[in-house]
Amino acid sequence: MSSQAPKGLNSASEARRTARLLAEAVAREQAEQMLNAIPAAVATTAIAMLATGWLLRAHYPWRAIAAWFAFVLPLYAIRLAIWFVIKRNGRLEACPHACLRALYVSAALAGLSWTALPIRFFPADPAFELFLTALLLGVASAAMAALSPVPVAAMLYMLPIIAPLIPRLLAAHGALAHTAGWLIFVYIAYMATVSGRMAHLLRDKVETRFTAVQRSLSDPLTGMINRAGLERHCSAALARARRHGLVVVVVYIDLNGFKALNDRHGHACGDQLLCQFAHRLNAAMRANERLARIGGDEFAVVIEDLGASWRDDVDAVVRRLNDLLREPFRIGDVVCRIDMALGCSSFPHDAHGMAELLECADARMYDAKLRGRPAPVSPAQAAAPAAHCSTATK
């Protein structure tokens, strides 16, 4: 009876990493929607406020209206500055959560810019009360339409506009105003429900796209990332290393004698051996280490964020990798002992790009194979062939 190695390598750390990447993808999508809405929102708000100010001049002195505009201008200057910084410096890709929080502040500032209307400019004129109520509800609805997939931002924009409107309407004379005041509570609840639903749909869309991308970057046999996934992951590690003067090391791994094992016992046995070996590798990985299957029986470990003692750290990793082969592999009735050849390269000492680092590590691994087998997995195996399999006796 065959013992099946687990095909997925989703350890707790890998699951946390995937969840973090998905959360970043959702935050990035939400932030992009908010960024795209800001220019049009600023332009339409300016037109609406100028028109409203022109109408208010019949009820209030121009100094009061000018004071409102003086209050609004800094708010929108900050809002445009947030938009410019995020757009200009490309920070959205690097830190989507921080950008989303900054955009929450932007949304709150936009809502506060309208707060003066129900607080300071609400004349005791039923027609004008109706006009201002319709205007503020229209602004709130427009904000909700633009920000509906981002519930926090939508509420931060909408509540400063319509929350002060409720006591104004309830304190006004007339049943119509009172009814409108109470209905605003229903309006808020409805808008919150719609926004929550839109946020759920956005997350589903992002998760579907994220899953498709993850599958294209993963190895179907072992579940770990493939070469394309490794290059994508390591671009961020190399960028971080350049900024902070850190070292990134690539360890190239090749299983010796794997072809002979495949020829003797079949590809199914070879696949199970790869899965078991990959499972051992994955279990031994630390937080700053990333594992990938490059192809066939070749794997790579990328060690990130190394400091001045990086050589000692890499030696410890190599010893840990060699320890993985002390125990034989059991695939049904077949017991296999196999070893591996290793080659290492480092940034910035050997190369500056991921492809060059892999090429350098591969060359050193091949050189190690030509010079003979690496240190044996155990002393008893010093004279053993590169791969040795036998059938277990029951």
Q: What is the DSSP string of 169-227?
A: HHHSSSHHHHHHHHHHHHHHHHHHHHHHHHHHHHHHHHHHHHHHHHHHTB-TTT-SB-H
Q: Of 17 and 283, which is predicted with more confidence?
A: 283
For the chain, domains (ranges, CATH) are 13-214 (no CATH), 221-391 (3.30.70.270)
Confidence grade of residue 12 (pLDDT, cut at 50, 70, 90): low
For the full predicted model, state whether its pTM sits above 0.75: no
Contact assessment for residue 314 and residue 344, using Cβ atoms and an 8 Å cutoff:
yes
Which residues are bridge partners to 329 per DSSP?
A: 336
Q: Helices 175-216 and 126-147 meet at what angle, rounded to 10?
A: 10
CB atoms under 10 Å from CB of 21, counted, come to 14
Structure tokens at 263: 């020829």
Condensed to tens digits (0 to 9), the pLDDT of residues 34-90 reads 999 899 899 999 999 999 999 988 889 999 999 999 999 999 999 999 999 998 866
* pLDDT tens readout for residues 79-135: 999 999 998 866 888 789 999 999 999 999 999 999 999 888 887 778 888 888 899
What are 184-224's pLDDT values in tens digits?
Answer: 999 999 999 999 999 999 999 999 988 888 788 888 888 88
| Cα–Cα distance for residue pair 210/208, rounded to 1 Å | 5
pLDDT(333) > 50:
yes
Q: Do residues 340 and 325 touch, judged by C-beta distance below 8 A?
A: yes
Q: What mean pLDDT is predicted for residues 4-9?
A: 41
